[in-house]
Chains A and B, each alone.
Chain A
Amino acid sequence: MAKVAFSLVMPERELAATEADMVIVPGGDGDFGVLPGHIPMISTVRPGVIEVQDGGKTVRRFMVAGGFAEVTRERCTVLAEEAQPFEDVSADQLAKRLRDAREALAEATPATRSGAEKAVSVAQDLQRAYAYYAAR
């Protein structure tokens, strides 16, 4: 059976490049699964978890803090400024991130306010996604 060539790239390096049966990406308009032969598409990615499925089970998970996905019939490329294997993420780390983001927001000047607000909402989304996937 045909496979999807999945790659997850960050500006500094390529985090993952693998073949998979299906990749589930948290798109800006909702999660979508990419199977071989998927219609070519470019989508935004919201903060959440990417699941790579192969042989009927989930083989890898990645946590991403938003980005873009480029899907062609053979490939699925996710561009993320920040990404980590799901195993490397801990609840403490995410809680700290949220705390830091809130502190930054409290000290934000009007110029940096929108950025700080966004950081808080990203941290919240990540925490929610983590809780959901960690329980599975």
Chain B
Amino acid sequence: MPSLKSFRLRIRSVQSTQKITKAMKMVAAAKLRRAQEAAQAGRPYAQAMDRMLASLASGMLGKAGAPKLLAGTGSDKVHLLIVATADRGLCGGFNSSIVREARRAIRALQGDGKTVKVLAVGRKARDQLRRDYGNLIVDSITDLGKPRLGFADARKVADRVLAMFEAGEFDVATIIYNRFRSAISQILTRQQIIPPAVPEAEAGAGASPYEFEPDEETILAELLPRNLAVQIYRALLENAASEQGARMTAMDNATRNAGDMIKRLTLQMNRSRQASITKELIEIISGAEAI
């Protein structure tokens, strides 16, 4: 039977762990709210971008002069996977689910005889993929979104991707991230960004075709790189919200587990205390009777 003192020490250590997880949960909740606000604030821009792209692309797709960023290079031999995770852990299955999906995607693509390259965004993606697929990682970008995620962060990633695309280093780019649904549920998403999935033009809106100034080609040539940055920005925002949501849930569970553990330990401690009291009493009484 462990001594009373060892019980007390264990309870105290679990209590201080609980304090930490509780604080982390609160911080994650506050950050989650901010991340959600940021995602909301970014929506008008993304929607306007989608609208313009839809009306531009429908006219350009299928034409011979369509830019490569829109129509693709015409082959799909080399795939670039942009694996976006967080820089930090302690957020439940958030990072590992992304990395698992990335592994699966790599295996599937390699099974089809494609070449795979990986751009790791976030420290966790880099560290976890380095062991098995270190030779595939072409570059890694970490410490994004400090102090807070801005469009400049997304542009950094987009510029890197564009530079590689222009150098002909890959044909298809896909980004893997977690889409935020709620604090307890994130949806693992694989989204192809080059060539992009062109949003459908709204029905009815097509009735008033736009005029273009200077012309469609020039606008598309400027719009497509920015659209890429916007898509990446959106993915990073979703990811940031998901990360905080996952951390909040994980820390909530940890706090609850610590509470259970404290309850159990306290019960055990009291039992053992009473047992020793009873034992002493029996010893005293039987000692008295013996006289």
Residues of A within 8 A of B (CB): 7, 9-14, 27-29, 32, 39-44, 68, 70, 72-73, 77, 79, 81, 111, 115
Contact = CB atoms under 8 A, between A and B. Distances in A.
B67 interface: no
Given A42-B210, A43-B213, A111-B163, A68 B218 contact: no
Contacts, number: 78
B213 A12 contact: no
Interface in B22-73: 38, 41-42, 44-46, 48-49, 51-52, 55-56
A12 B208 contact: no
A10 B51 CA distance: 15
5 contacts: A11-B42, A40-B210, A41-B210, A44-B222, A70-B210
Interface of B: 38, 41-42, 44-46, 48-49, 51-52, 55-56, 150-151, 154-155, 159, 163, 208-214, 218-219, 222-223, 226, 229-230, 233
Given A28-B214, A68-B223, A11 B151 contact: yes
Nearest to B207: A40
A77 B210 contact: no
Nearest to B221: A44
Contacts of B41: 12-14
A101 B51 CA distance: 33
B208 A72 contact: yes
Contacts of B51: 70
Contacts of A27: 213
Given A42-B219, A115-B159, A9 B212 contact: no
